[in-house]
Amino acid sequence: MTTLSRQLKNEDQTIAFGHELSLFARAGLTICLFGDLGAGKSTLARSFIRSLCPQGQSLDVPSPTFALVQPYDDLRVRVHHFDLYRTHDIDEVYELGLYDDLDTRVTLIEWPERIADDLPDNRIELYLTIEDEQRVVSVHSFGTAQPIVERLNAVTAFLTKNKWETATRRFLQGDASARRYERLVSNSGQKAILMDMPAMPDGPLLSSGKTYSATAHIAEGIFPVAAINDGLLQVGLSAPKALAKQLEQGLMLIEDFGDDVYGNILAAGGNILEPMTAATKLLAHMSDIDWPNQISIGTRTHHISNYGAPAYAIEVDLLLSWFWPLLKGNKPSDTIRKDFHLAWERVFQLFCNGTNNDIAVWVLRDFHSPNLIWLPDRKENRKVGLIDTQDCVLGHPAYDLVSMLQDARVDLPTGTEEKLYSYYCTLRSTQNRDFNQTHFSASYAGLGAQRATKILGIFARLYVRDNKPAYLKHLPRVSKYLEDNLKHPALKELADWFSSHLPSHEREYKGPTI
């Protein structure tokens, strides 16, 4: 059990603690509010719920005293707010649906004493008391909720140590893992991004004797972020500068690049051509840098792995492991799986070895609209802000280009891919007369097909395993990218496999959520 205690000197501090707790909210969490009448349970609960709402403090949050349960399904995380004061037995609680779909929402319970022996396992208990005319909240956590309170403690200590404890904090981004981001604004107006990225346990060993993360070179902690960002800064590019860091705790304060994310510009109908042209120019520039294979910070060193056939192969296998069963309701046969990987081995030769291999560069792998930020006031290649860099590998320069020009999440203006691909090749030819556009086009198509195949598997997994159906809407776009790449003559054998087993007209999932 993990605990903490806070003094809440006034109502504003109670509201502030409810907001702070909301920054760690995730589906599957239960919060139990213990305390006498007037202890502040409803004030804290109301602040927690409002902090999860885009409208913020203007959201009407009525007490569920008479309705017994009040659902909020349009928040950043769904919340069901229960008041059990007027319940008399556990059957009533079951009828209210308290135990239904616990893993899909946050469950707030006032008067949890009514079901003391039947509380959900993964919970935080808040005990609000009045001591010397001041409120005190004692926090106890159980089950999978324990790391949340541990992180709340660690973040508070980190911000206090670095004199950001009074900053306004706003949730910025998070995912199904423990990784979170907050935007901070100090009393003086200084801005920063809090990265809360604790080290995660690695997954199970595969038949190769390695985990998926180790084979695909997926970073599991914050140190690779700090190292890669430092490396990018050293060559004059715009990665966020570290303002404070406590790497052993998985915490950093980094430079805030603002909200001109490429995806936001596209969504708002803004002119994306100039930012994307700058990013294309940046990629051509990156192909002309002699990149190191390791970066050191203090006594620690981060090694940048080679993006080779084993990583490519385990990534494309996600299609067979997740997308195929989603479409067909069964697993592919051993023969189908073997032919799939044989076809891919020949494609990998386009960019892993032989005459088609281009110079190895740092490949950021997620070089696309959510992770590129437009910084127009900066000069030259520094106009493009680079975030989410921790999975950087040494690989073929076509990978990040195809990541950007075949964006899985957004539709680019018609003709953008063709125009910027041509611009990139012109820049590369000018930089290096040995640049072979014929070889590069084959690598571009092969890596585009590899990335699209991987993403079809990832989006299916996000739906099936993580209950995130929103990703299904992107499947047709990604499938079209795959089809376009398969038209390249160098990919004929792979195209034949898809034509026989997963043709384009079968790659549209027609499940109930579409």
Q: Are residues 266 and 400 in the same domain?
A: yes
Query: Is-contact 241 254, C-beta < 8 A?
Result: yes
Q: Are residues 222 and 155 in the same domain?
A: no
CA distance 81 to 102: 12
**What is the count of structural domains for the chain?**
2
Backbone angles phi, psi at 172, to 5 degrees: -110, -45
Q: Which amino acid is at 37?
A: L
* In a domain? residue 226: yes
Burial class of residue 207 (count of CB atoms within 10 Å of its CB; 0-12, 13-18, 19+): exposed
Q: Where are the beta strands (DSSP E) in 259-354?
A: 294-297, 300-303
Q: Are residues 201 and 75 in the same domain?
A: no
Write out the residue range of the structural domain in which residue 119 sits: 2-161
Q: Are residues 129 and 73 in the same domain?
A: yes
Q: Are residues 411 and 323 in the same domain?
A: yes
Query: Is-contact 65 83, C-beta < 8 A?
Result: yes
Q: Which amino acid is at 164?
A: W
pLDDT tens-digit profile, the chain (514 residues): 768 899 998 999 999 999 999 999 999 999 999 999 888 999 999 999 999 998 766 788 998 888 899 999 999 999 999 999 999 889 999 999 999 999 999 999 999 999 999 999 999 999 999 888 788 999 999 999 999 999 999 999 999 999 999 999 999 986 555 689 999 999 999 999 999 999 876 667 676 778 888 888 888 789 999 999 999 999 999 999 999 999 999 999 999 999 999 999 999 999 999 999 999 999 999 999 999 999 999 999 999 999 999 999 999 999 999 999 999 999 999 999 999 999 999 999 999 864 455 789 999 999 999 999 999 999 999 999 999 999 999 999 999 999 999 999 999 999 999 999 999 999 999 998 889 999 999 999 999 999 999 999 999 999 999 888 889 999 999 999 999 999 999 999 999 999 999 999 999 887 654 4
* In a domain? residue 514: no
Q: How far is CA 13 from CA 20, 57, 166, 168, in A?
A: 10, 15, 12, 13
Last residue of a domain, one of 139, 161, 183: 161
Burial class of residue 95 (count of CB atoms within 10 Å of its CB; 0-12, 13-18, 19+): exposed
Q: Are residues 399 and 302 in the same domain?
A: yes
Domain of 127: which CATH number?
Answer: 3.40.50.300
**SS3 breakdown of the chain: % helix, strand, coil, rounded to 5?**
45, 20, 35
Q: Are residues 101 and 206 in the same domain?
A: no
Q: Are residues 151 and 227 in the same domain?
A: no
Q: Where are the beta strands (DSSP E) in 200-293?
A: 242-246, 251-254
Please list, residue by residue across 488-511, b when 16 or more beta carbons sit within 10 angstroms of its beta carbon and e when fewer do: bebbeebbebbeebbeeeebebee
C-beta neighbour count of 354 within 10 angstroms = 9
